[in-house]
Structure 1
Amino acid sequence: MAATNLEIQNQLKVLIDSLSSLYSHDNLQPHYFNYWKQKAGLPKDLNDAPECVQNVARACDLLKIQDVSRLYHVESDYYEWELQQRAFRLRAPSKAHLCKSVIFENTRCPHESIDDPLNSKYYCVIVQYVGAVNTQKLMNYVRSLKNKEISKKNYNFRKSYELTGFENNGVSPIGMRQPIPVILSKSITEIRPSVFYMGGGHVDWKLAMPTDAFIKATNCFIADLS
């Protein structure tokens, strides 16, 4: 008797869970990163890529992380796919490794500056697709950067796409038009293997790298935002 769609879906789920568990096994971590190193490195010739993607690659070069990073040119209907299918396309260990960069604007900030990372009008927040940003926690964290000297009434965060030079689904925390302070969700540092996938500057391009390399290169903040 042929398997029903529900049975096939359940079997696929078991397979996906098994693969994710296998990837995260401590004994296999060194082997995974050996494979990563073999495949890593940004292409030298990106002349056919959009200018915004080339800007991301140049920024990676300046940060000296080009040799541990990877770029992926995905299909134009990528965002119509289920999250797990996107993970398969990128050969990500799990869908939990897929992340997005969201620009948050403090609409009550009394100034327009992003020069002071402890009190910026804008922050680039990196979060997993399987997660979400708790704006109350975001406000509490940013406020703590100034030891809570600034009143709560001066904070109200909303999503924005200003200043980056990127469009929706293509926002990269690297190579932004202006250097917006970056906050990495703490949950991203806890996934295994410790690599993550993000926007590559254009909706059809994705960028990936080891989490520790990103943190060291960008000196980003890390906060519990979920």
Structure 2
Amino acid sequence: MEEAAAAAELESLQIDILRRISALESSILPESSSPSLPEDESQTVSRLSAILRSGGVKDFSFKRVAPDYYDWPLESRRDVLGASSVDHLCKSIVLVNTQASSNVLDCSDRNNSKYYVVVVQYTARFNADAVKNFLYTLNEGKIPKKRFNLRLAPEETSIELTGFEHNAVTCVGMKTSIPVILDEAIAKLKPDFFWLGGERLI
């Protein structure tokens, strides 16, 4: 029993060392020495880069991560990305307003949309009531609060709307122009550079 525990501890230590080596390599090797991305990922990077630049975003970066990246603890993800803290790791969540009026079917009215993408920190809990209150205020109280009930959209709906698979959703370059709500805590991050997931491209 003790041998099994020792072996498990050693394996965990080895994995952590490998992740740290990967993070170190990423931080010191020039960009040109990185292996070239597969063609489909390269096209994704080019497309998203163009979208970001056209939106006035000048400071952005892409990193390719291991297939099991989302199984890692946040601290290991932070290290491999070179993020300032675990609070700088964020995710995009596709939500559906289940109580929207019957005539609200899409995202044409950004203040009263059927769907929203909320960007939150991995370290934060999604607060549906806060989003409800935000939308109520955004609409100047003209739409009753009971008409806002945000729930996680079904996976197939999320894929159809965004064009991104599970664990690959990002609020940039979505198939549908879904309104994006950014948690105010992210806007207060120092430094003001945060990471969004997108499958193996971060």
Same fold (TM over 0.5): yes
AA at the equivalent of 1:145: L
Q: Which has the higher helix share?
A: 2
**1:178 maps onto 2:176 in alignment:** yes
Percent identical pairs in the alignment equals 35
AA at the equivalent of 2:132: M
In 1, the alpha carbon distance for the partners of 2:81 and 2:40 equals 18
Q: CA RMSD in A?
A: 2.6
AA at the equivalent of 1:137: A
Q: Note the alpha carbon deviations across 1:26-46, whole angstroms, 9 max, x for none.
A: xxxxxxxxxxxxx99xxxx86
Q: Which has the higher strand share?
A: 1
- Given that residues 56 and 172 in structure 1 are in contact (C-alpha distance below 8 angstroms), is that contact kept between their aligned partners in structure 2? no
In 2, the alpha carbon distance for the partners of 1:163 and 1:53 equals 20
- Given that residues 56 and 174 in structure 1 are in contact (C-alpha distance below 8 angstroms), is that contact kept between their aligned partners in structure 2? yes
Deviation of 1:198 after TM superposition, in Å, equals 0.2
Instruction: Give the structure 2 partner of residue 205 of structure 1.
Output: 201
Instruction: Give the structure 2 partner of residue 56 of structure 1.
Output: 48
AA at the equivalent of 1:178: T
Instruction: Give the structure 1 partner of residue 6 of structure 2.
Output: none
- Given that residues 45 and 62 in structure 2 are in contact (C-alpha distance below 8 angstroms), is that contact kept between their aligned partners in structure 1? no
AA at the equivalent of 1:94: S
- Given that residues 52 and 166 in structure 1 are in contact (C-alpha distance below 8 angstroms), is that contact kept between their aligned partners in structure 2? no
Q: Note the alpha carbon deviations across 1:111-155, whole angstroms, 9 max, x for none.
A: 112122111111111000000111011111111111111112212
Alignment partner of 1:96 out of 83, 87, 110: 87
Counting only pairs closer than 5 Å after superposition, residues 184-195 of structure 1 correspond to structure 2 as: 184-195=182-193
Where 2:53 maps in the other structure, the secondary structure is helix
**1:154 maps onto 2:147 in alignment:** yes
Counting only pairs closer than 5 Å after superposition, residues 12-51 of structure 1 correspond to structure 2 as: 48-50=39-41
Q: Which protein is bigger by CA-based radius of gyration? A: 2
- Given that residues 164 and 176 in structure 1 are in contact (C-alpha distance below 8 angstroms), is that contact kept between their aligned partners in structure 2? yes
